[in-house]
């Protein structure tokens, strides 16, 4: 049996064979509501790092859509036979105007795309031949190329079976010329936008069952192409060819201009439509947690571990025809219940109860209440121990924060506390006074645990919390699962699971911290501005950490910020550049403010620190409250000196409000 943790190591999708990818891909719940790849128009697929763009588009390429493991394939799939290319960034970089000349460089790139897509189109013929269509297999034989296409390609052998090897040789010739343009003969360039439609027409003419065949090319990592090469692709999108549709995939925010070779530009809605994978996988729809649960059970099944989920059928995850069944309430409830039993999530109430059973956490609460009593001048009326009731931990913990607020009247708080304790349901009674439990309990729990950095912070434990920290990034979710299972089961003889699978809460919490720390350090490797992104993340984390260290928790769970939209123009060019990089690499997420307090408030944009970094800073992962920054403050946080940053930090959070017993976290 494979070590279960190893199955959660996330391989790059472009390294998987077509068969492996088909067996690993889970048809996402949102597929039924989005326009996929059946129409004539081009599509761009957006998403941040690790959200599954490559896996998604490769699933719609012929290796998966016409995979021999699929049964009863509809012949309508032939109207959109997917071809895939991920351009070699280094090689394409050599095809520059400075090295080859402006026009030869663009022609060489189009030639490079043509050769790769034609190679894949030859492999698509094999996929068609082996596909299990509803009407039986299609005997395509060895189709003949038209005279026109043979002339365009410069080949004599008209058999499709001979074409793939020729394209391989042409790629060798192209590489030789690009690297040695003065010493190797220049190739005869092929235009992919005309060669692929001709190839499709030739296949369509070979048998009636292929009469409607069309190709749909997927260009992956579009953002990594130089501008002149992007223009070549945009030309094909702006002026589509018969039987060829060109699609692109790129990181959000990474491409802002879709200029063609002329002054025209590709226009959203008119020339292409967008599928935003992150938006579709949003946790608020509940679909990310279902997909994550299915992914978890698929990996557990592959490890031959035991779990109780009769409705879960691994073979049904890979085919869209089972999607309706997977979206049914009985299936969803059973799958989620199963995973939640394996990765249990403690409730806030149970975390509060455990805190009062822990001598160290209880002492922190006692100190917190004592300082509140001093602030309220109540030390002669009541002791801290009298306000800590083990039977009603939620009330006691929230009381610790309320007493530290200057806006509260201490005597009234004591009266409300005693009245609540005497009621049949103290937590409900205390909450009804001012929404105190729901609004403050989570923040208070994060505050208590933040002062004990070596203690497993169980606020981050559980499947549901893993989803909230990882959403919409399945790579992060798999990292959390890998670390959890690696800590839970020490490999012995290749086997690590016996009996029903279940992981304790402390192990999950430690794994979350481990993953968060590693991903924080990995920021250094992101793009060309990793150093600056690491510093920005550290600064923002310290700001939110400082808010969490306030005993009063008057604004609990502050973990994102906003800038008035009217003020964005006041940010420096450097700040805007780094902000864009942070969004490209999903260090920050951008969202429109949905909590303006009045109709006349200026529109704002929320900038959310990726929740996966929450355990590193011991802050909340929930999008609850924010700090609104003046552009000058935002500019300092993003790109100015450490000294200026420290000044802004003190402007945002009064040092006198902080719990000085908590050691500041080392960021670097």
Buried (b) or exposed (e) across 99-117, using 16+ Cβ within 10 A? ebeeebbbbbbbbbbbbbb
**Which of 30-44, 74-88, 554-568: highest mean pLDDT?**
74-88
**Residue 595 reports pLDDT greater than 70:** no
Pairing of strands 244-251, 604-609: unpaired
* Secondary structure letter of residue 561 according to DSSP: E
pLDDT at 15: 75
Alpha-carbon gap, residue 313 to 624, rounded angstroms = 37
**pLDDT for the residue 571:** 86
Instruction: Give the Cα separation of 278 and 265 in Å (integer).
Output: 25
Structure tokens at 646: 């420290």
For the residues 196-216, what does the mean pLDDT come to? 96
Contact residues for 146 (Cβ-Cβ < 8 A; gap 6+): 198, 201, 202, 205
How far is the first Cα of the chain from the last one, in angstroms, to the nearest whole number?
Answer: 40
Band (pLDDT 50/70/90 cuts) for residue 46 is: very high
pLDDT tier, 223 (very low <50, low <70, confident <90, very high otherwise): very high
| pLDDT tens digits, 112-131 | 999 999 999 999 999 999 99
Neighbouring residues of 364: CB distance < 8 A, sequence distance ≥ 6: 448, 451, 452, 661
Rounded average pLDDT over 422-429: 86
Residue 535 has pLDDT above 80, yes or no: yes
Note the pLDDT of residue 294.
Answer: 97
pLDDT of 111 strictly over 70:
yes
Dump pLDDT digits (tens) for 345-364: 999 999 999 999 999 999 99
pLDDT confidence bin for 567, thresholds 50/70/90: low
Residues forming beta bridges with residue 218, ordered by sequence position:
84, 247
3-state SS track over 45-57: EEECCCCCHHHHH
Residues 368 and 400: beta-carbon distance below 8 Å: yes
**53 touches 249 (CB < 8 A):** yes
Rounded to whole angstroms, how far apart are CA atoms 556 and 624? 8
**CATH architecture assigned to 41-280:** 3-Layer(aba) Sandwich (3.40)
In sequence order, what DSSP letters do the residues of 176-225 get, joined into one string?
A: HHHH-TTTSPPP----HHHHHHHHHHHHHTT-GGGTT--EEEEE--GGGS
Distance in angstroms (rounded) separating the CA atoms of residues 151 and 36: 35
Closest by CA to 342, choosing from 473, 471, 485, 541, is: 485
Tens digit of each residue's pLDDT (9 = 90 or more) over 228-246: 999 999 999 999 988 999 9
pLDDT at 45 over 70: yes
Q: What are phi and psi of 206, to 5 degrees?
A: -80, -30
392 in Cβ contact with 426 (< 8 Å): yes
Cis status, amide bond into 472, omega within 30 of 0? yes
Cβ pair 218, 257 in contact under 8 A = no
Calculate the alpha carbon distances from 523 to 104, 518, 659 in Å: 38, 9, 29
Q: What is the pLDDT of residue 182?
A: 92
Instruction: Let me know: does 444 contact 403? Beta carbons within 8 Å.
Output: no
Helix segments in 607-641, DSSP class H:
614-617, 631-639
pLDDT digits (tens, 9 = 90+) for 576-585: 999 999 999 9
- pTM assigned to the model: 0.91
The residues pairing with 268 across neighbouring beta strands, listed in sequence order, are 272
Q: Would you state the pLDDT for residue 1?
A: 42
What average pLDDT score do residues 552-561 get?
Answer: 90
**For residues 542-550, average pLDDT:** 94
Per-residue HEC secondary structure of 562-606 comes to EEEHHHHHHCCHHHHHHHHHHHHCCCEEEEECCCCCCCCCCCEEE
Confirm if 151 and 193 have CB atoms less than 8 A apart: no
Region(s) of the chain under CATH 3.40.50: 41-280
Say how far apart CA 225 and CA 95 lie, in whole Å.
11
Q: Give me the sign of the Cα torsion angle 447, 450, 455, 461.
A: positive
Write the DSSP assignment of 289-302 as a string of letters: HHHHHHHHHHHHHH
Sorting pLDDT into bands at 50, 70 and 90, what band is 619?
A: very high
Phi/psi of residue 43, nearest 5 degrees: -130, 145
pLDDT at position 343 over 70 = yes
Which pLDDT score is estimated for 260? 96
Cα separations (Å) of 118 from 56, 66, 105?
Answer: 21, 17, 20
Which pLDDT belongs to residue 492? 45
- pLDDT per position as a tens digit, 465-506: 999 999 999 999 999 999 999 999 865 444 556 667 899 999
Q: Residue 2: its pLDDT value, please?
A: 56
Got the DSSP string for 143-172? PBPPHHHHHHHT-S--BHHHHHHHHHHHHH
What is residue 594's predicted lDDT score, i.e. its pLDDT?
56
**pLDDT value at residue 171:** 97
pLDDT at 599 over 50: no
pLDDT at 498: 63
**Overall size of the chain counted in residues:** 668
What percent of the chain is predicted at pLDDT more than 90?
72
What's the mean per-residue pLDDT of the chain?
90
d(CA 64, CA 24): 11
């Amino acid at each position: 049996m494979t070590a279960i943790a190893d199955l959660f190591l996330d391989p790059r999708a472009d390294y998987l064979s077509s068969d492996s990818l088909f067996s690993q891909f889970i048809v996402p719940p949102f597929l039924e509501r989005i326009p996929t790849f059946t129409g004539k128009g081009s599509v761009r697929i957006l998403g941040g790092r690790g959200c599954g763009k490559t896996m998604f588009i490769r699933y719609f390429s012929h290796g998966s859509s016409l995979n021999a493991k699929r049964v009863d394939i509809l012949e309508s799939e032939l109207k959109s036979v997917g071809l895939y290319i991920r351009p070699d960034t280094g090689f394409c970089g050599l095809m520059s105007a400075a090295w080859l000349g402006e026009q030869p460089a663009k022609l060489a790139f189009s030639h490079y795309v043509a050769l790769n897509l034609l190679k894949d189109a030859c492999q698509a013929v094999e996929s068609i031949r082996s596909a299990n269509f509803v009407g039986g297999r299609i005997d395509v034989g060895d189709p003949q190329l038209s005279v026109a296409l043979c002339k365009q390609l410069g080949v004599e052998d008209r058999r499709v079976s001979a074409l793939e090897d020729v394209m391989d040789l042409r790629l060798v010739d192209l590489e030789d010329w690009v690297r040695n343009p003065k010493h190797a003969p220049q190739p005869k360039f092929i235009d992919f936008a005309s060669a692929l439609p001709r190839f499709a027409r030739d296949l369509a003419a070979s048998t009636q069952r292929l009469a409607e065949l069309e190709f749909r090319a997927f260009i992956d990592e579009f953002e990594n192409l130089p501008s002149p090469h992007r223009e070549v692709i945009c030309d094909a999108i702006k002026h589509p060819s018969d039987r060829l549709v060109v699609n692109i995939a790129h990181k959000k925010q990474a491409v802002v201009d879709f200029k063609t070779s002329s002054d025209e530009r590709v226009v959203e809605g008119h020339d292409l439509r967008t599928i935003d994978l992150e938006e579709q996988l949003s946790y608020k729809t509940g679909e990310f947690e279902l997909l994550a649960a299915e992914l978890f059970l698929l990996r557990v099944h592959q490890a031959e571990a035991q779990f109780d989920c009769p409705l879960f059928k691994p073979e049904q995850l890979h085919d869209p025809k089972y999607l309706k069944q997977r979206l049914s309430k009985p299936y969803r409830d059973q799958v989620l219940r199963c995973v939640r039993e394996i990765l249990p999530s403690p409730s806030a109430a149970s975390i509060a109860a455990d805190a009062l059973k822990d001598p160290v956490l209880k002492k922190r609460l006692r100190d917190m209440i004592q300082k509140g009593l001093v602030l309220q001048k109540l030390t002669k009326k009541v002791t801290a121990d009298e306000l800590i009731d083990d039977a009603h931990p939620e009330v006691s913990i929230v009381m610790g924060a309320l007493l530290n607020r200057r806006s509260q009247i201490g005597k009234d708080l004591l009266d409300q506390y005693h009245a609540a304790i005497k009621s049949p349901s103290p937590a409900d009674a205390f909450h009804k006074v001012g929404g105190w439990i729901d609004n403050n309990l989570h923040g208070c729990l994060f505050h208590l645990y933040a002062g004990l950095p070596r203690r497993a912070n169980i606020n981050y434990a559980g499947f549901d919390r893993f989803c909230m920290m990882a959403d919409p990034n399945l790579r992060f979710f798999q990292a959390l699962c890998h670390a959890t299972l690696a800590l839970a089961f020490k490999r012995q003889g290749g086997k690590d699971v016996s009996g029903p699978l279940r992981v304790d809460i402390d192990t999950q919490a430690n794994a979350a911290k481990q993953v968060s720390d590693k991903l924080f350090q990995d920021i250094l490797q992101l793009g060309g501005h990793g150093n600056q992104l690491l510093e920005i993340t550290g600064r923002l984390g310290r700001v939110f950490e400082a808010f969490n260290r306030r005993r009063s928790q008057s604004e609990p769970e502050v973990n994102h910020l906003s800038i008035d939209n009217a003020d964005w123009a006041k940010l420096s060019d450097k700040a805007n550049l780094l902000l864009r990089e942070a969004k490209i690499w999903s260090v920050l997420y951008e969202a429109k403010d949905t909590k303006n307090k009045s109709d006349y408030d200026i529109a704002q944009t929320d900038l959310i620190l990726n929740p996966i970094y929450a355990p590193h800073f011991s802050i909340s992962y929930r999008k609850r409250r924010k700090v609104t920054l003046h552009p000058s403050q935002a500019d300092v946080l993003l790109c100015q000196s450490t000294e200026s940053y420290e000044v802004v930090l003190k402007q945002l959070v009064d040092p006198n409000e902080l719990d000085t017993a908590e050691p500041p976290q080392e960021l670097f």
